């Protein structure tokens, strides 16, 4: 079973400069791929006589560029951008992984186009450019990593290697067997660099556990002060307190308002980065602890099913007042459900 283990990176100044440079090249390469994709797509649209015209969407008559699927694929991007300086500055396999991410985004866009004409989703937009000079994640598959003396040595391009003044290595966590590592990603997050270790430890999900009774279930309803309220078919109950979670979110909102007072709407700085990182860590910790508590309780009571109520679009369409929305919408219940799904298997 594949798992991802995120670890906050601790690089020296020289190593950090190298990784920031690589992330910048990945960001620029993505923008180059998006530029090529859009130029080719718009050129094709201009050749279509009916691409810009009036058309019906449901009961509405509209006019403008029709929404068509994009024909660009990853192999074409890789062939066209192979001589790009951003491509050459990265290891070949890392550059390929970066372009594959663009190819996957185009595939997702094409799927949304089909759903759009069926009236299932709003009109999709073609890929947007990333911020100029920004950072993007850089990925190394296992073939691009060499393991020696407890360290992984990532591949480095011929253009970048002469500029190095230190050896570039990645040290895996002690609890990870080197043979488990399938992929490593270095990604920027809120002014920090993190390393995602993708591993396969050989463990498989259990389809049937003989120690559990699959005729029994534990049902949960989520809310505010009581994050989760559960009752089992055995007549037992439990409540996960949500007041601490609300308090942390309120503290986060107050700090954000303090630092953004008198600033433009999209103002952001290192202080806000620090506040956001703290809040994300608190939410992740609360999710992990609540999920583990529920799973352990189910194993203890030999209950084989978990049921949680969920209303579609309840986060972005609910209207329970300004204060009620603020207290309810920011609680990461969906992430808790996803975490429970991972642990249940």
Element (H, E) at 22: helix 13-46
Residue 228's nearest CA partner among 338, 342, 331 is 331
Residue 194's nearest CA partner among 185, 183, 206, 182 is 185
Cα–Cα distance measured from residue 22 to residue 87, given in angstroms and rounded to the nearest whole number: 10
Mode of pairing for the β-strands spanning 52-57 and 226-232: unpaired
Three-class DSSP labels, 30-92: HHHHHHHHHHHHHHHHHCCCCCEEEEEECCEEEEEECCCCCCCCHHHHHHHHCCCHHHHHCCH
Whose structure tokens read 């209207």? 319
pLDDT at residue number 202? 82
Residue 97's nearest CA partner among 40, 33, 163 is 33
pLDDT at residue number 324? 67
Residues in the chain where the model's pLDDT stays below 50:
none
**Phi and psi dihedrals of 338, rounded to 5?**
-65, -40
pLDDT at residue number 201? 83
Q: Specify whether the CB–CB gap between 211 and 292 falls below 8 A.
A: no
pLDDT at residue number 55? 66
Cα–Cα distance measured from residue 199 to residue 3, given in angstroms and rounded to the nearest whole number: 5
* Distances in whole angstroms, Cα of residue 156 to Cα of each of 28, 98, 159, 167: 18, 15, 8, 11
pLDDT at residue number 330? 78
Instruction: Give the model confidence (pLDDT) of 207-238 as tens digits.
Output: 888 888 999 999 998 887 888 999 999 999 99
Domains by residue range for the chain, with CATH: 2-11+135-200 (no CATH), 17-117 (no CATH), 213-344 (3.30.420)
pLDDT at residue number 315? 67
pLDDT at residue number 103? 95
The three-point CA angle 195-196-200 to 5° equals: 140
pLDDT at residue number 266? 86
- SS3 label, residue 242: coil
pLDDT at residue number 325? 67
Mode of pairing for the β-strands spanning 226-232 and 237-241: antiparallel
Strands in 192-200's sheet, in edge-to-edge order, are 2-8, 192-200, 181-189, 138-141
């Amino acid at each position: 079973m594949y798992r991802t283990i995120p670890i906050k990176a601790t690089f020296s100044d020289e190593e950090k400069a190298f990784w920031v440079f690589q992330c910048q090249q990945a960001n620029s390469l993505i923008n180059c791929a998006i530029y090529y994709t859009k130029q080719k797509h718009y050129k094709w649209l201009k050749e279509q006589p009916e691409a810009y015209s009036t058309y019906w969407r449901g009961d509405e008559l509209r006019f403008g560029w029709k929404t068509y699927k994009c024909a660009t694929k990853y192999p074409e991007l890789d062939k066209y951008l192979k001589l790009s300086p951003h491509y050459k500055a990265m290891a070949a396999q890392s550059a390929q992984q970066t372009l594959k991410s663009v190819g996957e985004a185009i595939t997702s866009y094409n799927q949304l186009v089909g759903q759009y004409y069926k009236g299932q989703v709003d009109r999709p937009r073609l890929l947007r450019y990333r911020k100029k000079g920004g950072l993007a994640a850089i990925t190394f598959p296992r073939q691009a990593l060499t393991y020696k003396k407890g360290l992984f040595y990532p591949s480095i391009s011929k253009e970048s290697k002469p500029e190095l003044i230190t050896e570039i290595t990645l040290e895996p966590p002690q609890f990870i067997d080197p043979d488990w590592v399938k992929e490593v990603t270095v990604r920027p997050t809120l002014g920090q660099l993190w390393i995602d270790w993708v591993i396969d430890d050989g463990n498989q999900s259990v389809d049937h556990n003989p120690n559990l009774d699959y005729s029994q279930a534990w049902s949960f309803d989520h809310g505010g002060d009581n994050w989760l309220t559960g009752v089992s078919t055995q007549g037992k109950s439990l409540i996960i307190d949500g007041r601490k979670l609300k308090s942390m979110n309120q503290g986060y909102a107050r700090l954000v308002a303090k630092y953004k007072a008198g600033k433009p709407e999209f103002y952001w700085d290192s202080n806000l980065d620090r506040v956001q990182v703290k809040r994300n860590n608190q939410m992740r910790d609360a999710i992990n602890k609540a999920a583990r508590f529920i799973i352990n309780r189910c194993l203890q009571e030999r209950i084989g099913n978990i049921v949680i109520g969920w209303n579609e679009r309840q986060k972005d369409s609910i209207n329970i007042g300004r204060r009620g929305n603020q207290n309810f919408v920011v609680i990461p219940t969906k992430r808790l459900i996803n975490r429970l799904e991972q642990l249940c298997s």
